[in-house]
Structure 1
Amino acid sequence: MVHARTRKPSVLIIGTGFGGIGMAIKLKQAGFTDLTLLEKAGGVGGTWRDNTYPGAACDVQSHLYSYSFEPKHDWSRKFGAQPEILEYMEACVTKYQLEPHIQFNQAVTSATFDDHSNQWRVVTETGDTFNADVLITATGQLNRPAIPNIPGLETFRGACFHSARWQHHTELRNKRVAVIGTGASAIQFVPEITPLVGQLDLYQRSAAWVLPKPDRPFHQFEQALFKKLPLWDRLYRGLIYWKNESRALAFTRFSWILDLFAHQARKEARRWVTDPDKLHHLIPDYRIGCKRILISNDWYRAVNQPHVNLLTDGIARIDETGIVSETGEHRPADIIIFGTGFRASEFLSPIHIAGREGLTLNDAWTNGSKAFKGISVSGFPNLFMLYGPNTNLAHNSILFMLESQYRYVLSALDALSRYPGAAMDVREDRQSRYCQVVQRGLEGSVWDAGCSSWYLDEHGRNTVNWPGFTFSYRFATRSVDTADYQFLDPVNA
């Protein structure tokens, strides 16, 4: 082992969404000056930069979907919309002077660990190379649009795009529009475009459980109160947190509680949908919570419109002028919009990552994505993942999980600072034991109810969700136990 003395390692972060920005702020505050952020696009914001579709908004309350260390007192609504969330993120970058550390338009293609130098070598699409002692990935889970492989798609003559790559120059007014997918994004943009289009065909594979969204604008006196009484702002945030946190019990142990929400969703559907056939197909046939529960106040009203057609037959192919169903029916379309979500279980794809002795992440994850505390992967020293396997939530704010991970990573870097030149690699047995505990925790949860969802990978394993309370995760990541890791000298050092 190298001799102990203090030197802060150099750090490279991939991504400038909420994860990357917050991690960089905490690193700067802790005195890490050799810091680089690589961003594939021309601006910060991650999913909130990419998803500019009409109606894009968050389904977590504004005061909780923001950094605890950087409160925003003047949120315009209880649930923030995309432009305001992106503006908040950009303001954080400016306030904490992160711009000099960010290199834009640098899409990472590969990251390779060098056993001889104990450094990561990162290469981007431009051919530029970056070296750092520590690599932190903050690429998120919702950054790669999932477009189904439908025969004939390339032959379609009209405009065709994914909701996360919205073509604002495409005129929708009075057009025949086909929307494929009725997930979280479609729930938001369909009500916005329904008044514009001449005809809207909604292709639904499975219905979603949709609950009312308790949203409204904040009054000016409320914003002033948050600003003048910071304690009230913190208390308000705390109340939201604990209200949301209580729902973990329903998802993980007492799923009968969710039946109350299912009753509410059915009641809401019956209230707004007058077409019996539409109503029948809008009520899911799977257990509520097994897939993501959605919130909206105008989804059912939009689908009930007479020029909106809800189609549940599978799609056989797409041709030059429209979509052909599995029953053989051809429906013409001028525009096709995919609301088909993201490749959430393909962590870090398409980046090629190679660790010790050339081990690739794809090989390490042949049987599914695994990470110790969702952060470290055995065989990949000094690599720390934010929002990694089994850290997603169905009941609370991901920013709470990210802030727990910031603290853990900083604790790890403090350990590394005492041993300049060393690299820390999580022990395989500790990682396996931890992942077994997580998977056992998922057994009997509502996500184990048998439905197909984006929570499950190709092996049917839930590699996405955290199976419990967020405060239990925070306790588990309060600091690094160096006994969980082996510290490695450079080869031939």
Structure 2
Amino acid sequence: MTTTRTTALIVGAGFGGIAMAIELRRAGIHDFVVLEKADDLGGVWRENTYPGSGCDVPSPLYSFSYARNLTWPRRYAGQRDIHAYVARTARRFGVLSHIRFGQEVTSAEFDESTAEWLVRTTDGTEFSARAFIPATGQLSRPAFPSIPGLESFGGTSFHSAEWDHDAELEGKRIAVIGTGASAIQFVPEIQPGARRLTVFQRSAQYILPKRDHAYKPWHQKAFRALPILQTLDRLGFWLYAEFAQQCLSKWRFFTPLFQRQTSRHLREKVTDPGLRYRLTPDYALGCKRVLFSNDYLPAVTKSNVDLMTDEITEVTPKGVRTADGTHHDADVLIYGTGFAALDLLAPMKIHGLDGRGLEQTWSEGARAHLGITVPGFPNLFLIYGPNTNLGGGSIIYMLESQARYVRDAVRILAEHPRRWLDVRPAAERDWDVEVQTRLARSVWTRCDSWYRNEHGRVVANWPGRTHEYRRRTRRVDLADFRVGAAG
């Protein structure tokens, strides 16, 4: 079998992979390949097609700084518009010709004798690359709850990230497990047509009103005529997001300001004291993801909706049973239970120096210098790696920072054939100690959430402002790396 040789191999054609590909092309590096397991690009915005799917970051900020969209239809864009934007941007910057669709990576092994990564896909195709750049993200694999009997359900069932658009929901008894970011978007959409909608809530969510509105033709005309107007719009959102990020990670004395907003929103939308009590969180604001919605709370007050807070003990062929012994009949079961965010890079098997597995290295949780490089895994660069997620703000800004840093590293490798860069354990350790120390003072250590693993370690989030992260990833510091040679 022929092995395709390339300077850089990117895995994933979502926002992260596209950002990386664009940076390489802008730097004059055209010898790279993007492997995408699906038949289209877009990542989470290709997969999450559930009713009401959209972004809770304002559109002007949820886009590349160098590829503004002056025709967003709404302040908060929906899934279709975001997916179209990603595709349009990939075409504009010449990325499409580099993408190989239907190629799912199964393994990657670093060969010290050649200073290259040998990457294999499910169909047996092999690639040899100087730089191996996984950009699969933290929110790419749907997670299902550990509840007995999941496979026994006799009706229609599916995860929100794998929405069954052929499923008949009209007039059906629908059970929804989970009340996270996806559920609060699709529940209001399916509620009107449901015969009965039973929502199973493990913990209440802090919900802020979504200050959404359509951009009128005059808005878009003004943006086209004076792009500085959208720049100012973006700047305003960015400054607010930086403030919110600091409040979550450091300035917790501002928390009551946000708490009052969520409490007022709950009081205005839910008049029943008993229901309002069940919808009131019992943990610190921001410890779990804060959600934005105008219609979720009104939806759960409707006469055909039941909000259940008792623990689910099992799924049966005909519905769901809770700890109080009640059986809730259902024709359709929808899982709004999020993603396996902490299983970064799974199910790929990745082996670095001396055949050491990344899974073994990360046995107590993923960690990486700048969220990008891991000791013992030369020329491996992560996009949207550990501790680079945000509690507030646009992940696109973080992805741009990472892509620019990795571009710098790939350029160094291209200029020095048969060399490899391996981040020094001390550099990674110092970074990790700093990040975890700062996180220990943040709100994210005050409850259990998908931000933390079973060891209590915050694996997902970055504890500072996005501007700080961009400054610290501005260029590769070779003092942080061991430089090795093939052979």
What's the CA shift for 1:271? 1.3
- 2:12 equivalent to 1:25: no
State the AA in 2 paired with 1:487: V
| Alignment equivalent of 2:343, drawn from 337, 343, 346 | 346
What's the CA shift for 1:9? 6.9
Aligned position for 1:458? 454
Aligned position for 1:467? 463
- Larger mean CA deviation between 312-321 and 409-418 belongs to 409-418
In 1, are the aligned partners of 2:383 and 2:399 still within 8 Å (CA)?
yes
TM (norm. structure 2) is 0.98
Cα deviation digits, residues 324-358 of structure 1 (max 9, x gap)? 11121111100000000111111101110001110
What's the CA shift for 1:448? 2.0
What's the CA shift for 1:29? 1.5
Q: Percent identity?
A: 46
SS in 1 for 2:368: coil
| Alignment equivalent of 2:33, drawn from 32, 36, 59 | 36
| Alignment equivalent of 2:485, drawn from 483, 486, 489 | 489
SS in 2 for 1:184: coil
Q: CA–CA distance in 2 between the matches of 1:29 and 1:418?
A: 16
SS in 2 for 1:38: strand
Q: CA–CA distance in 2 between the matches of 1:166 and 1:414?
A: 41
Q: Which runs of 5+ in 1 are unaligned?
A: 1-7
- 2:164 equivalent to 1:167: yes
- 2:43 equivalent to 1:46: yes
- Larger mean CA deviation between 84-93 and 255-264 belongs to 255-264
- Larger mean CA deviation between 367-376 and 242-251 belongs to 242-251
Aligned position for 1:285? 282
In 1, are the aligned partners of 2:152 and 2:316 still within 8 Å (CA)?
yes
TM (norm. structure 1) is 0.96
In 1, are the aligned partners of 2:8 and 2:410 still within 8 Å (CA)?
no
Q: How does 1:143-182 map to 2 (within 5 A)?
A: 143-182=140-179
SS in 1 for 2:110: strand
- 2:464 equivalent to 1:440: no
| Alignment equivalent of 1:312, drawn from 302, 309, 314 | 309
Cα deviation digits, residues 254-284 of structure 1 (max 9, x gap)? 2131222112211111212133221111000
- Larger mean CA deviation between 249-258 and 212-221 belongs to 249-258
Aligned position for 1:191? 188
Aligned position for 1:476? 472
| Alignment equivalent of 1:356, drawn from 345, 353, 356 | 353
In 2, are the aligned partners of 1:9 and 1:417 still within 8 Å (CA)?
no
Aligned position for 1:4? none
Q: CA–CA distance in 2 between the matches of 1:410 and 1:249?
A: 28
SS in 2 for 1:63: coil
Aligned position for 2:236? 239
Q: How does 1:185-224 map to 2 (within 5 A)?
A: 185-224=182-221
Q: CA–CA distance in 2 between the matches of 1:201 and 1:40?
A: 35
Q: CA–CA distance in 2 between the matches of 1:411 and 1:366?
A: 30
Cα deviation digits, residues 130-175 of structure 1 (max 9, x gap)? 1111111110110011101221111111000000000010010010
What's the CA shift for 1:33? 1.6
SS in 2 for 1:171: coil
Q: CA–CA distance in 1 between the matches of 2:99 and 2:251?
A: 45
Aligned position for 1:298? 295
State the AA in 1 paired with 2:217: Q
| Alignment equivalent of 2:399, drawn from 395, 399, 402 | 402
What's the CA shift for 1:227? 1.0
SS in 1 for 2:381: strand
Q: CA–CA distance in 2 between the matches of 1:340 and 1:20?
A: 25
State the AA in 2 paired with 1:114: D
Aligned position for 1:103? 100
State the AA in 2 paired with 1:251: L
Aligned position for 1:5? none
Aligned position for 2:409? 412
SS in 2 for 1:317: strand
SS in 2 for 1:323: strand
- Larger mean CA deviation between 421-430 and 243-252 belongs to 243-252
In 1, are the aligned partners of 2:130 and 2:413 still within 8 Å (CA)?
no
- 2:428 equivalent to 1:431: yes
Q: CA–CA distance in 1 between the matches of 2:386 and 2:70?
A: 32
Aligned position for 1:86? 83
In 2, are the aligned partners of 1:9 and 1:420 still within 8 Å (CA)?
no
| Alignment equivalent of 1:258, drawn from 255, 279, 297 | 255
SS in 2 for 1:25: helix
State the AA in 1 paired with 2:394: S
Aligned position for 1:321? 318
SS in 2 for 1:112: strand
Q: CA–CA distance in 1 between the matches of 2:69 and 2:441?
A: 38
Q: CA–CA distance in 2 between the matches of 1:35 and 1:412?
A: 14
Q: Which runs of 5+ in 2 are unaligned?
A: none
- Larger mean CA deviation between 256-265 and 105-114 belongs to 256-265
Q: CA–CA distance in 1 between the matches of 2:232 and 2:254?
A: 26
Q: CA–CA distance in 2 between the matches of 1:260 and 1:199?
A: 36
Q: CA–CA distance in 1 between the matches of 2:368 and 2:269?
A: 44
State the AA in 2 paired with 1:477: T
| Alignment equivalent of 1:332, drawn from 310, 329, 332 | 329
SS in 1 for 2:277: helix
Q: CA–CA distance in 1 between the matches of 2:272 and 2:239?
A: 39
Cα deviation digits, residues 268-301 of structure 1 (max 9, x gap)? 1121213322111100010111100000000110
Aligned position for 1:267? 264
Q: CA–CA distance in 2 between the matches of 1:480 and 1:423?
A: 14
In 2, are the aligned partners of 1:9 and 1:413 still within 8 Å (CA)?
no
Seen in structure 2, the aligned counterparts of structure 1 residues 186 and 196 have a Cα distance that, compared at 3 Å, is same
Q: CA–CA distance in 1 between the matches of 2:251 and 2:63?
A: 29
SS in 2 for 1:245: helix
Q: CA–CA distance in 1 between the matches of 2:81 and 2:136?
A: 21
Q: CA–CA distance in 2 between the matches of 1:199 and 1:280?
A: 22
In 1, are the aligned partners of 2:371 and 2:386 still within 8 Å (CA)?
yes
Q: CA–CA distance in 2 between the matches of 1:167 and 1:25?
A: 33
What's the CA shift for 1:304? 0.5
- Larger mean CA deviation between 22-31 and 186-195 belongs to 22-31
Aligned position for 1:65? 62
